[in-house]
Amino acid sequence: MSTRVRTFYQYANRLLAGERSRLTIKKEAPLRIALVYPNSYEVGMANLGFQSVYRLFNEHPLVMCERAFYDPSLEETVRSIESGQLVTQFDVIAFSVSFEMDFFNMLKFLQQAGLSLRAADRHVRDPLVIAGGVATFINPLPIAPFIDLFFLGEIESQMHTLIDGLLSWKSAAIDKNEVVASLSKAPGFYSSLVKDRDRVVIAHAGKQDNGEVLQYSPIVTSYSHFKDTFLIEVGRGCYRRCRFCAASHIYQPVRFFPLEVILSTIDKHIQGTRKIGLVGAALCDYPEIVQLGRDLVTGGYELGLSSYRFETISESFLDVLNTGGVKTITLAPEAGSFELRKRINKPIPDELIYDSIELIAKSNIKNLKLYYLVGLPGETAADIDAMINAVRKIKSIFYSGNKPGRELTISTNAFIPKPFTPFQWCGLADEAYLKENRRYIERQLKSIGMIRMTQRSVKSEVLQAMLSLGNHTIADVLETSVLTNDLNYLYDSNEGRSAIHQKAEDESLSWDFIDYPVGKKQLWKQYTASFSQSKKSRAPR
Ligand code: SF4
């Protein structure tokens, strides 16, 4: 055994030793799927979508599914962690992709596996390469030539169609190209190899607010980003429709799962931990969130919440969080001024922000994290200054109780327009604008003091925007970037630059061929409504 394979086994054994699960893998099942998260184990295992698909595959009596991750620190990474088999020995390689920046990792993974990057160049006997996850289903075109078959939408509704199709291919009733062509006719499936299909309908799991599609993590592990946490979904979608937010526009209808179903799912499936991570885009809009928290802490569980809203912060809610051992609250005002928050349809009044921080200051919460966006449509220098003034005030309120060990973190990231939102026509703010304003914010927050700042590099945000908004031409430059191991190729490309420009109403968008519940007309109406609220436009400092 080579050193690099031995190193892989040590890595896999260490990870497996940290896992608790009741899931069993049927080694002899006829359909063998390698489910790949194109990022580290720590990130992948914190992703409820990835964990859910792993469970759904393995619950099928005729499927065995093992996991692989892309870990650039290892020379050998293209093996499943469960059995150590090469992913090329599986029938299917299924990528679960939640973030556009992982497109690059996904192609590196295929390259390291020794497979041709382009689906059309792969052999009919190579594994079928499929991909799903929110980053792929809002705009698959930048990676379309590399994937045999995409699944666009909520997998629960079409899991049986997918597995039945794959099983008939495995039983040699049809070949790989035929299964791709046949599945591509069903809602939610798309392949660039199939040329005679103009439109694709996104797959929805339907109303199903009875908890039938509620997802939970089958594995709890100490090596996840959410250490030793049982993740459970309390609802899907969000009715608030912030104009920049893809989750609220693509997951429809909004579903909140019944309290008793959530509690019984926890009782039935939790394994080896007392820590619960509640997940949902509109988690704090869950109608019985305080009751749910109370029931869990009364049952002796520790709590973790994936998101918070200012509107939910109350003394009783903070009491529940305190008893549940929560030490960190993350809130997203997004913009410093009320005017700009109105424009993005997140109209949180200033008073509500400060009143909430006052309540938090009186509680035992140690860490407060606030997220702001820079480069929002219509943002001006006054909005940036409003953000700095707001942070100054928040800091003085948060530290006013003189409670030791407190930390305030301010995260400022570029606004990246997303498909299927009213802001899908927006361009990314100029790089120079983003850099200049981020430097300005950094200087100002440093002078305020006692603030931890986090921000991504502007370059990585530009790359993410290119991958998020690009069309099929991005695929060629992405391929060269992977082959040369140099993302500058994409960053400097005309294709990348043209993806992030401001679009006109009648301009065709690369995701126009996908039918989503919210039509383009409705989105345009929302887009123009945001601008009719104010005549301001982004202004240089
Ligand atoms: S409240 Fe959060 S999840 Fe809901 S639409 Fe706004 S940003 Fe999206």
Substitution site in 233, 242, 289 for ligand 1 pocket (most atoms within 8 Å of beta carbon): 242
Over residues 97-140, the pLDDT tens digits come to 999 999 999 999 999 999 999 999 999 999 999 999 999 989 99
Token pair in block for residue 322? 């305190």
DSSP assignments along 352-384, one per residue? HHHHHHHHHHHSS--EEEEEEEES-TT--HHHH
- Closest residue by CA, ligand 1 atom 3: 281
In 3D, which of 471, 473, 472, 490 has the Cα closest to residue 482?
A: 490
CB-CB contact of 532 with 428 (8 Å): no
pLDDT number for residue 209: 63
Substitution site in 138, 233, 236, 238 for ligand 1 pocket (most atoms within 8 Å of beta carbon): 238
Longest pairwise C-alpha distance within the chain: 71
Cβ–Cβ contacts within 10 Å for residue 510, how many? 19
This complex has an ipTM of 1.00
With a 6 Å cutoff on the Cβ, whether 86 touches ligand 1 is no
Peptide bond into 253 cis (omega under 30): yes
Position in ligand 1 atom list of the atom nearest CA 247: 8
User: Are β-strands 128-132 and 149-151 bridged in parallel, bridged antiparallel, or unpaired?
Assistant: parallel
Residues 100, 105, 109, 112, CA torsion sign: positive
As separate numbers, helices (DSSP H) first and strands (DSSP E) second, the chain gives: 20, 19
d(CA 257, CA 32): 32
pLDDT number for residue 412: 97
CATH architecture of the domain with range 3-201: 3-Layer(aba) Sandwich (3.40)
420-438 in b/e form (b: 16+ CB < 10 A) is bbbbbbbbbbeeebbeebb
d(CA 244, CA 419): 9
Substitution site in 245, 307, 330, 346 for ligand 1 pocket (most atoms within 8 Å of beta carbon): 245
With a 6 Å cutoff on the Cβ, whether 523 touches ligand 1 is no
Instruction: Tell me which residue has tokens 């497979």.
Output: 115
With a 6 Å cutoff on the Cβ, whether 279 touches ligand 1 is no
d(CA 62, CA 110): 26
Ligand 1 centroid, distance to 250 Cα (angstroms): 12
Q: Average pLDDT of each block of 10 consecutive residues along the chain (541 residues)?
A: 90 96 95 98 97 97 98 90 97 97 97 97 96 95 98 92 95 88 94 88 74 90 97 94 94 92 96 95 91 96 91 94 95 97 97 97 96 97 98 97 91 97 97 97 97 96 98 97 97 97 95 90 95 54 41
Query: What count of residues does the chain have?
Result: 541
Over residues 259-272, the pLDDT tens digits come to 999 999 999 999 99
Per-domain boundaries in the chain: 3-201
